[in-house]
Amino acid sequence: MSVLVWALFAVAVVLVVVAAVAAAVTKSRSRRLRSRFGPEYDRTLDGASSKKDGEAELARRAERRDGFEIKTLSPDEQRRYAERWQEIQARFVDAPADSVQEADVLVTRVMRECGYPIESFDDRSEFVSVDHPQLVEDYRAAHRIAVADTGGQVTTEDRRKGMVHFRSLFEALLGDDLSSATRGSVRGTDADTSVDSGRPSEATTEGRR
């Protein structure tokens, strides 16, 4: 073979190797993003003009999130916020609209305490999509209900769903270091049952007598 043929052959081999490496890198990146974002991966790609653009958006969110130091709340802070949630939840039967608004505010306040940027809902939901991808769609739905409720455009059932969604994120933000007693004040209480069922519990009714 001539020198030219060998040169062309070498170039072709290099191009094949480069293409294979690029494909492997892209596949690995996709796998990492899918693992990190879970259902948010598919939702983002469905709304993007291409897979490349969708993955670039997710990578941007992850990079931005990794630039912030998010802290775990202290036991005292956890307890204080859990008690505040219990108060809001207990009011749901008598004032469901107010409870939803207060739940939205409380979740935002906890996010601020943890170190998340809270300037806009888009900022908050982006960070939730990175750290709690299983919950971000519920958080978006809860926020939509809270916004619509300012105009009286939602039903009590909508508000109940909003409270349940806010509570899921609220519990995740408080973390796993709650004592069993404090955890009980967030879950499994009579007030909690009244939100889930849309009707007052016996304990709540008894408290009014």
Helix (H) or strand (E) holding 76: helix 75-90
Burial of 197 (0-12, 13-18, 19+ CB in 10 A): exposed
**Chain mean pLDDT for the chain:** 80
* pLDDT the model gives residue 150: 81
Cβ–Cβ under 8 Å, residues 164 and 100: no
Distance of CA 192 to the CA centre of its chain: 21
Q: How sure is the predictor about 188, in pLDDT bands with cuts at 50, 70 and 90?
A: very low
The pLDDT of residue 177 is: 52
- List the beta strands (DSSP E) in 71-150: none
Q: Find the mean pLDDT for residues 181-209.
A: 42
Which of 21-25, 33-37, 132-136 reaches the highest mean pLDDT? 132-136
Q: What is the pLDDT of residue 203?
A: 37
The pLDDT of residue 145 is 95
Please report the pLDDT score of residue 2 as a whole number: 72
Residue 169 has pLDDT above 90, yes or no: yes
For residue 52, CA distances in Å to 33, 64, 128, 129, 163 come to: 12, 18, 22, 19, 36
173 neighbors 85 (Cβ within 8 angstroms): no
| CB neighbour class for 163 (10 Å; exposed up to 12, middle 13-18, buried from 19) | buried
The model's confidence at residue 5, banded by pLDDT at 50, 70 and 90, is: low
Instruction: Say what the pLDDT of residue 152 is.
Output: 75
pLDDT tens-digit map of 60-94: 999 999 999 999 999 999 999 999 999 999 999 99
Smallest Cα–Cα separation from 30: which of 43, 41, 14?
41
Q: How far is CA 21 from the centre of its chain?
A: 34
Q: Residue 94 carries which DSSP code?
A: T
Confidence of residue 119 (pLDDT cuts 50, 70, 90): confident
- In degrees, rounded to 5, the angle at the alpha carbon of residue 102 between the alpha carbons of residues 160 and 71 is 105
Q: Per residue in 143-159, pLDDT tens?
A: 999 999 887 779 999 99
pLDDT exceeds 70 at position 200? no
What is residue 95's predicted lDDT score, i.e. its pLDDT? 93
Entry field: residues in the chain? 209
Of the two residues 179 and 81, the one the predictor is more confident about is: 81
Cα(209)–Cα(202) distance, rounded to whole angstroms? 11
Name the DSSP letter for residue 132. Answer: -
Q: How many CA atoms lie within 13 A of 110 on its CB side?
A: 28
